[in-house]
Amino acid sequence: MSVLEPKDLGKEAIILSEKNLATTSIDSSDGLAKSLTDLLHSNPRKNIGFEILFNEELIDEEAFRYSEEFKISLENLVFNGGEEFIHIFTIDPNNYDSALKTIKSQKGQIFKIGEVIQENKIYYLNKSERIELKRSGFEHFK
């Protein structure tokens, strides 16, 4: 897990920034749900949101074991766990292939986890359900 074995994915952030391929960026160290909410609220266009595909193939095997051992839902771990050094980006769909090619050429990785939508909410898709994601994650000043 990232808490025990952090992996810095910072080179992707630098590459996408230098090539002007990312339209927004934030790290997910306070939890994916909070990071997405922060992106949503920091955007001057108020009619945007996110639809995240809950893709178990992108979840580390250790998270599955932790979820089972401590009886914490996998969704809770994915959306509210933090401490990792993973960057969350939005990339214009017209630039996605270029961004992917650029990152791969530098031996980096990016993963598509969802899409920007024209609604001021965050949803995740899990199998056939579309579930609204509520803000949670680490709060520094509470």
Quote the pTM value.
0.81
What SS3 class is residue 62? helix
142 has a pLDDT exceeding 80:
no
Both tokens of 68, joined, read 């089972």
- 106, pLDDT greater than 90: yes
SS3 content of the chain, % helix, strand, coil (to 5): 35, 20, 45
| In a domain? residue 93 | yes
| Residue 2 lies inside a defined structural domain of this protein | no
Report the distance separating Cα 43 and Cα 48, nearest Å: 8
Alpha carbon distance 28, 9 (integer Å): 11
Domain annotation covers residue 63: yes
Number of domains in the chain: 1
Is residue 116 in some structural domain?
yes
Place of tokens 């990792």: 84
Residue 90 lies in a domain: yes
CA distance 34 to 139: 9
Question: Which has more pLDDT, 66 or 85?
Answer: 66
Q: What is the pLDDT of residues 109-141, one digit of tens each?
A: 999 999 999 999 999 999 889 999 976 644 544
pLDDT digits (tens, 9 = 90+) for 15-57: 999 999 999 889 888 889 999 999 988 887 778 999 999 998 8
Q: Please report the pLDDT score of residue 95 as a whole number.
A: 96
141 occurs within a structural domain: no
CATH code of the domain in which 89 resides: 3.90.650.10
Does some domain include residue 3? no
Domain housing 126:
10-132
